Amino acid sequence: MTATYRQPGVVLTDRRFTVPLDHDDPAGETIELYAREVVASEKADRNLPWLVYLQGGPGFGANRFVGRPSWLGRALKEYRVLLLDQRGTGHSTPANRQTLPLRGGPAEQAAYLTHFRSDSIVRDCEAIRPAVTGGATWTVLGQSFGGFCAVNYLSRAPEGLTAALITGGLPSLDAHADDVYRAAYPRVERKVAAHYARYPQDVERARRIADHLLTHEVTLPNGYRLTAEAFQSLGILLGGGEGSHRLHHLLEHAFVRTPHGAELSDAFQEDVQGLLSYASHPLYALVHEVIYAQDERPTAWSAERVRAEFPQFDAAKALAGDGPLLFTGESIHPWMFDCDPALRPLRETADLLARRTDWRPLYDPARLAANDVPVAAAVYHDDMYVDTTHALRTARSIRGLRTWVTDEFEHDGVRAGGQRVLDRLLALVRDEA
């Protein structure tokens, strides 16, 4: 049943589709996809071109907007927008600790999850496009991992695209996960240094919290075991435009005095568990490293292995000296599957994915070199999540791609400056800038 309803300034329609789990086996098992169609109220009866939004992640459902905020308001001036819950996320057939046991044991779960990378997402898009557009091409807007999907789209099915717009999401075409993280840790260290330069009082605050966690067992209200390493992973905030300020506000109310001495405050623990829990997006943890896997080499918990090459990130060593505690960034580690109750049942499944050696290539360099789809990409000059050097190398490999390199925004530029960012990219693909 299709439901249509209204919010301020927009008309929304729920869309549901059935697609093969494995597009190479179209007669086999199927899963459901959910998407929300959005059109400006005053244009609801018009025949408009389509823009499909590919959410960042992996593992997040599409944004649940109210009205016309951020980039959406600009898009609705000329498009119908499809907010797709990529397979396994949002209202699409879910993949989490509650549902994955329906597949069987860890081996069956891991095999199932091999179908949740960008290549399957793009084939989903092509499977549903005729039903959405009547067969017409559409424009894709890919944020972060959504940009990875857009580059896969250009490799696999460019005939389905009018244009591709990419924000903070140009992947390396050939880097192994180890290469990604070797480039990432120095970048994260720079972001942490910039944070401490802005808020020097946070140096001692972070050290005090880490010292407390190294000497006390702390379990958050939701059952999450808060270790020093888990605390360091809050550095993922530093990749967003407001992230440094959010981290500062978090640290400043960490402790409260009690009859038993200083303890981590309830307010701090409540905020931290909301930031660290993967209950709402477990796929992010499960498939994050395998979005970089393209050959017989396993990912083998790449971020954890590569971290050992950067001993300055070791909390105990930092506290033994007088240097600052370094936070970490966008990386997944095996200890997360021990700390987080939403991930604990999936630890063996994650291990099997990390050991897998039969990954298929995600990108076609020859097809990208011959590309004729208009493409524009916003590249954030020191993006904490996506390496700028890797992104620009890929940009040079895609024929006709135009880049907008800017230091005005962090990784979340399409949200923070959505109308301006989308305006710029549209002007680039239309040769108006």
- Which residues are annotated as catalytic? 144, 358, 411
Residues 325 and 159: their CA atoms lie apart, in Å, by 49
What residues does 139 pair with on adjacent strands? Answer: 51, 163
Assign 130 to helix, strand or coil: helix
Enter the tokens of residue 261: 């001495």
Whole-number Cα distances in Å, 217 to 188, 315, 325: 27, 16, 19
Backbone φ, ψ for residue 27 (5° rounding): -90, 0
Helix and strand element counts for the chain (H, E):
18, 11
- Cis link prior to 221 (omega < 30° from 0)? no
Q: Where are the beta strands (DSSP E) in 137-177?
A: 138-143, 161-167
| Closest C-alpha among 173, 178, 386, 390 to residue 294 | 173
Residues 329 and 233: their CA atoms lie apart, in Å, by 6
Residues 400 and 20: their CA atoms lie apart, in Å, by 33
